[in-house]
Amino acid sequence: MGLSLTYGLALNSSLSALVFLACQVENLMVSAERIGQYSDIPSEAPLVVEGSRTPADWPTTGAVEFRNLEVSLSS
């Protein structure tokens, strides 16, 4: 009877360690999959597109006009 209890407890701890290692491997594989996915993402557009730049002297004229400006504070 004692031998079967000893083997049962050893089997339980071995099974627990096996499940832990399987989860650990799964987590590491997900990390590897993410690296593969992130390496396939296309790069962003360049900051400045030479064909559609604004002129160097832009804006040449302009004005700021406020109409019916109302500021209200509530407490």
Give the model's pLDDT for residue 21. 96
| Alpha carbons 36 and 33: distance in angstroms, whole number | 5
- Answer whether residue 24 is part of any domain: yes
Q: Is residue 61 part of a domain?
A: no
Note the pLDDT of residue 75: 64
68: in domain: no
The answer to the question of residue 32 being in a domain is yes
How far is the C-alpha of 12 from the C-alpha of 75, rounded, in Å?
64
Residue 34 lies in a domain: yes
Its domain, for residue 20, covers 2-43
CA distance 36 to 30: 10
| Structural domains counted in the chain | 1
14-64 pLDDT, tens per residue?
999 999 999 999 999 998 899 889 888 888 888 888 888 888 888 888 888
pTM (two decimals): 0.44
CA gap 30, 53 in Å, rounded: 43
Does a structural domain hold residue 70? no
